[in-house]
Amino acid sequence: MSETISERPHVDRRMQEPVPRARSRSTRTPLGWWRNPWRKPRILATFTWGYLAWSLLPVLIAIAISFNAGRSNSVWQGFSFQWWWGHPKFDPSGALFVSPELRAALIQSLRLSFLTMFIAVPLGVAFAIGISRWRGPAPAGANFLMLFSFVIPEIIIGISMFLFFTYLLKVVHLGTGAQLLSLVTYQVSYPVIIVRARLLSIGKEYEEAATDLGASPTQAIRRVLLPLLYPAILVSFALVFADTIDDFITVRYLSAGANTEPLSVKIYNFSRGSLTPGINAAATFLLLSTLVIALIGVFLYRRITSGQRGQTHEMADYLT
Amino acid sequence: MVVLFALPFYVVVSIAFGTVDPVFRSPLPVYQPWFWTSKYLLDEWTFITGQFRPVELRTLVYVVLATAVCLVIAYAVAYYVARFGGKRKGLFLTLLIAPFFISYLMRMLSWVELLQPNGYVNSVLAFFHITPHPINWLAGVPFTVVIGLVYGYIPYMILPLYGFLDRIDQSQVEAGRDLGASPFWTFVRVTLPLSKPAILASLVIVTLPMFGDYYTNNLLSGSPKTTMFGNLLDNSMEATGQGPEAAILVLFLVVFLMIPMLYYMRETAKAQRRQ
């Protein structure tokens, strides 16, 4: 035994390079970065930033074009406000705040969205609280209805509402009344879904504690439950407004002629035919109004939950 | 709510099963179920299956393609933000939520302008000498329509996926890695099976509305070469005296969409019972 060992040739390892590591495990080679199981996700990061650019850059370009100084809606020709406030030197017929057609549409847009917002959200909150109290199969049914109205194509709602108001409920004429009724019907599911999610996460304990301490059921709801629900209610307000002012499907079928068409429908109609930067200005205006409502929401939210959690995360929690 | 939701639908059913005024072609809804006739319904059915078959097939192909592309992009983005977002998570989320507050019309409008024959997409392609002459993207190119659908609906897919992936317990993923799985196999064996319910939910949210989409198509193509089922519905509304046709088409679409919806409800109920 000892002989066989001593027969091995003597190698002075002190003079040699250190034994190279197995090639496939090395992270120094060009391909090694790929082989490193703990590498940074550079491909995914590039992909995500690429996606974000793809999703938001076109919109920024469209906003910029609303300030275009020429008639073209695809090529930049200089900066001007002529498509917003008009310009003495140019034909003002396409400018957002000058053209009577666009201005009437703008007012109709704002009227519909504010009315819908202030009807649908309180109604939805009441529904949500009501559904959470019910026992038996009713909540499941209501849940299904809300979810279904959320995912079915809006054109189905538009057409059925149109047929409903023209053949059965003829009391309500096409126009603002019919538009409002169907918008509320459709939009009410936002606050219901959001508030119900919040109610589930709050649980019953707060309310029970309030009633144990001597509050009547209405008092418990008004003084304990509603303040806890404020964030959810604010998010619903912002979402309902954003979705209503952008809606052009239901509202288009239910508008009685050109004078009750809101801005969104005008944009849709013009987009298929004669596009001018004035239409971009109209779309930018819708975006800005939504942004203002969202900012008011964020501001109020900060006031209510001063110094709690980051609001973006919470917003995302509601949306998901 | 129930009145405003169920009653209109009842009218649709009544018109679909009702008769048609022979002179004006205006529908005479029949509200009593025992007088319902299926004569017009059957007529329409044979009409649809005969003449419109390519349209339905095309709708299905477009929707499946667009949903698949959506899912791949949305999953990658949601996964990256949920797992590697780190300090930038707030920024990422704001940018991901932004499309919700930007009107769908605005987002489509911007593409209509970019894709004009003299628009910026063609200028970029010309700059890199990819195409010799400008492509008319808006003249009924199926590619434009599918990508338009992807662009329009993908935000609705990213957020639910993100919400779920963010809640996945990281220790499970780490366990997979510690047991020697490569990142790829950890993803396939651990993360993907865990996120199945979220994938299902986001598919329902995105796919169902796509079946009734006519505006993306109208804005980005408007050519009969790319007509989808939603366009049939819209066209039947724009022509006068087409009430019954619209009602019947709506009925078909609702019945068709009930199938994935009920499947989804059953799956979620099953998953809840398992927990």
Interface test with A, best of B2, B3, B10, B11 (most A CBs within 10 A): B11
Q: What is the ipTM of this complex?
A: 0.75
Range of the domain at A154: 101-319
Which of B77, B111, B222 is opposite residue A48, by nearest beta carbon? B77
Which of A37, A51, A271 is opposite residue B183, by nearest beta carbon? A37
Q: Does A270 touch chain B (CB under 8 A)?
A: no
Interchain pair A149, B27: CB under 8 A: no
Residue A303: give its domain's CATH number. Answer: 1.10.3720.10
Tokens of A207: 């309310």
| A274-A280-A281 Cα angle (round to 5) | 120
Domain count, chain B: 1
Residue B122: give its domain's CATH number. Answer: 1.10.3720.10
What pLDDT was estimated at residue B15?
Answer: 57
Query: Phi first, then psi: what are they for B28, rounded to 5°?
Result: -110, 95
Interface test with B, best of A61, A151, A174 (most B CBs within 10 A): A151
Domain count, chain A: 1
Task: Please name the residues between 222 and 241 in chain B that touch chain A, using a CB distance below 8 Å.
Answer: 222, 230, 233-234, 237
Contacts of A161 in chain B (CB under 8 A): 8
Please give the torsion angle defined by the CA atoms of residues A191, A192, A193 and A194, in that order, rounded to the nearest 10 degrees: 40
Residue B23, exposed/middle/buried by CB under 10 A (0-12, 13-18, 19+)? exposed
Q: Does A48 touch chain B (CB under 8 A)?
A: yes
Range of the domain at B259: 2-274
Is A215 a domain residue? yes
Q: Which residue in chain A has the smallest CA separation from B180?
A: A37
Is A184 a domain residue? yes
User: Which tops the pLDDT comparison, B223 or B75?
Assistant: B75
What pLDDT was estimated at residue B7?
Answer: 58
Query: Phi first, then psi: what are they for B169, rounded to 5°?
Result: -70, 115
> Which residues are paired to B19 by β-bridges?
B28
Q: Does A264 touch chain B (CB under 8 A)?
A: yes
Task: Please name the residues between 36 and 65 in chain B that touch chain A, using a CB distance below 8 Å.
Answer: none
| pLDDT single digits (tens) B35-67 | 455 555 566 566 555 566 677 788 888 888 988
Q: Does B92 touch chain A (CB under 8 A)?
A: yes
Is A49 a domain residue? no
Cα–Cα distance, A167 to A233 (Å, whole number): 36
**How far is the alpha carbon of A37 from chain B, nearest alpha carbon, in Å?**
6
Interchain pair A156, B79: CB under 8 A: no
Is A151 a domain residue? yes
What pLDDT was estimated at residue A244?
Answer: 87
Which of B73, B105, B261 is opposite residue A268, by nearest beta carbon? B105
Q: Does A280 touch chain B (CB under 8 A)?
A: yes
Which of A55, A184, A319 is opposite residue B159, by nearest beta carbon? A319
Q: How far apart are the first and last CA of chain B?
A: 33
Cα–Cα distance, B153 to B211 (Å, whole number): 12
Q: pLDDT digit of tens for each residue in chain A (320 aa)?
A: 445 555 666 666 565 555 555 544 555 555 665 566 566 677 888 888 888 888 888 888 888 877 777 777 766 776 777 777 666 666 656 677 767 778 888 888 888 889 988 988 888 888 888 777 766 666 667 777 777 777 778 888 888 778 777 776 666 667 777 788 888 888 888 888 888 888 877 777 777 888 888 777 777 777 778 888 888 888 888 888 888 888 888 888 777 777 778 888 888 887 777 777 778 888 888 888 888 888 888 888 777 766 555 444 555 555 54
Q: Does A154 touch chain B (CB under 8 A)?
A: yes
Q: What is the DSSP letter of A225?
A: I
Cα–Cα distance, A76 to A66 (Å, whole number): 10
Q: In sequence order, which residues have a C-beta less than 8 Å from that of residue B224 and are 6 or more positions away?
A: B140
Which of A73, A151, A310 is opposite residue B209, by nearest beta carbon? A151
Task: Please name the residues between 127 and 146 in chain B that touch chain A, using a CB distance below 8 Å.
Answer: none
Interchain pair A181, B4: CB under 8 A: yes
Query: Phi first, then psi: what are they for B20, rounded to 5°?
Result: -120, 135
Taking the CA atoms of A83, A84, A90 and A91 in sequence, report the sign of the dihedral they define.
Answer: positive
Strands B19-20 and B27-28 turn out to be antiparallel
Interchain pair B106, A62: CB under 8 A: yes
